[in-house]
């Protein structure tokens, strides 16, 4: 298989990189100066049969078109919003992702974001580290999580895992989803504004599509209200970021916990000074255990494809 060219879109995970290096003819896109990329792709277009992408760098139409022998795009992520699925489908290119193995990590982080925002864990930690505790108590009142109403946008694998955890804290669960799920003891709302009106913690955990772009807009933020908090473990583009920022600055929203942003790794400057927000650098599935599992899944998909076996986790 050493002759099969695999294009790695950006640095992702050293174990994955090493394995790809040993099993395939690995090309690292980021090692090319941007101006040389078209030339680089042209000279290697016969060899490159696979692309490994992730949540940040995908495979757009331009890239796909410049690789005429491309057979498979394997994403080191569960989201595939940065892959031009339509173009892949037109050209018969397979696309795979990494569902399930990262569900727990993302759900764990979702709860961490809620707790950290409500209970002001990071400001508390900063308070102690600055030496201020000796001069007086922390003072700022924190808010209880247990028993609060939680609203989840998207009740897929990750949304369900978040719901299960929140229930253990005594929280009531409501959700908005493309379709109502028959089994759960969760209240369904067929529109996100009603969901926001009826919860105090709104969690975004759906996939990014044309329909869900900016699904959290001004109207939803207003419905969530000045005592509500927004948690985003989906994609930055789920939220109208400038609206979110002004809502937080103006006190129209009580707080936010964000792992994703519209233009990563850029985080809106005003947020950096607020103590009622938690800002994480897209670490949703960033544990050693999960990255190993994700990498193994990417490799399994590639191996299966090039050995003409059924793909473990195909998107198309």
Question: Which CB sits closer to other proteins, 32 or 167?
Answer: 167
d(CA 124, CA 133): 9
User: Whole-number minimum distance, CB 292 to other proteins, in Å?
Assistant: 10
Q: DSSP characters for 199-259?
A: -SEEEE-S---TTTTT-B-HHHHHHH-TT-EEEE-S-GGGB-HHHHHHHHHTTSSSEEEES
User: Whole-number minimum distance, CB 107 to other proteins, in Å?
Assistant: 8
**Residue 166, both tokens:** 């929140």
Question: Which CB sits closer to other proteins, 51 or 55?
Answer: 55
d(CA 23, CA 269): 43
Q: How big is the chain, counted in residues? A: 316
Give the residue numbers marked as catalytic. Answer: 235, 264, 282
Residue 188's DSSP bridge partners are 175
User: Whole-number minimum distance, CB 7 to other proteins, in Å?
Assistant: 20
- Please tell me whether the peptide bond between 265 and the residue prior to it is cis, using omega within 30 degrees of 0: yes
Question: Which CB sits closer to other proteins, 5 or 159?
Answer: 159
Question: Which CB sits closer to other proteins, 174 or 212?
Answer: 174
Question: Which CB sits closer to other proteins, 193 or 274?
Answer: 274
- For 59, which DSSP code? B
User: Whole-number minimum distance, CB 168 to other proteins, in Å?
Assistant: 3
Q: Beta strand pairing status for 229-232 and 201-204?
A: parallel
**Residue 190, both tokens:** 């067929």
- Write out the residues near other proteins by the rule CB under 8 A: 11, 104-105, 107-109, 111-113, 115-116, 119-122, 124-129, 133-134, 137-138, 141-147, 164-165, 167-170, 264-267, 272, 278-283, 286-291
Question: Using an 8 Å Cβ cutoff, are 144 and 117 in contact?
Answer: no
61 contact partners, CB below 8 Å, separation of at least 6: 84, 87
d(CA 237, CA 71): 29
User: Whole-number minimum distance, CB 178 to other proteins, in Å?
Assistant: 25
């Amino acid at each position: 298989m050493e002759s099969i060219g695999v294009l790695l879109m950006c640095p992702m995970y050293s174990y994955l990189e090493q394995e790809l290096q040993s099993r395939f003819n690995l090309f690292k896109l980021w090692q090319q100066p941007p101006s040389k990329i078209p030339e680089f792709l042209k000279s290697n277009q016969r060899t490159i049969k696979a692309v490994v992408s992730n949540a940040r760098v995908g495979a757009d139409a331009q890239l796909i078109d410049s690789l005429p022998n491309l057979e498979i795009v394997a994403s080191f992520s569960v989201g595939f919003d940065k892959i031009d699925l339509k173009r892949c489908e037109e050209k018969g290119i397979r696309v795979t992702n990494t569902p399930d193995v990262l569900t727990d990590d993302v759900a764990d982080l979702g709860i961490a974001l809620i707790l950290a925002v409500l209970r002001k864990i990071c400001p508390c930690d900063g308070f102690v580290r600055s030496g201020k505790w000796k001069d007086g108590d922390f003072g700022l009142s924190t808010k209880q999580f247990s028993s609060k109403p939680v609203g989840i946008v998207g009740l897929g694998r990750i949304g369900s895992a978040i719901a299960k955890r929140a229930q253990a804290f005594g929280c009531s669960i409501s959700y908005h989803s493309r379709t109502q799920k028959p089994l759960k003891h969760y209240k369904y709302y067929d529109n996100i504004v009603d969901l926001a009106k009826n919860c105090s913690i709104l969690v975004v955990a759906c996939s990014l599509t044309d329909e869900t772009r900016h699904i959290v807009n001004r109207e939803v933020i207003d419905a969530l209200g000045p005592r509500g908090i927004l948690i985003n473990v989906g994609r930055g583009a789920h939220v109208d970021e400038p609206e979110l920022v002004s809502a937080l600055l103006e006190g129209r929203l009580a707080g936010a916990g964000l792992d994703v942003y519209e233009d990563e790794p850029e985080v809106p400057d005003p947020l950096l000074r607020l103590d009622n927000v938690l800002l994480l650098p897209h670490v949703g599935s960033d544990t050693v255990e999960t990255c190993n599992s994700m990498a193994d899944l990417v490799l399994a998909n590639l191996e299966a494809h090039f050995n003409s076996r059924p793909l473990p986790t195909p998107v198309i």
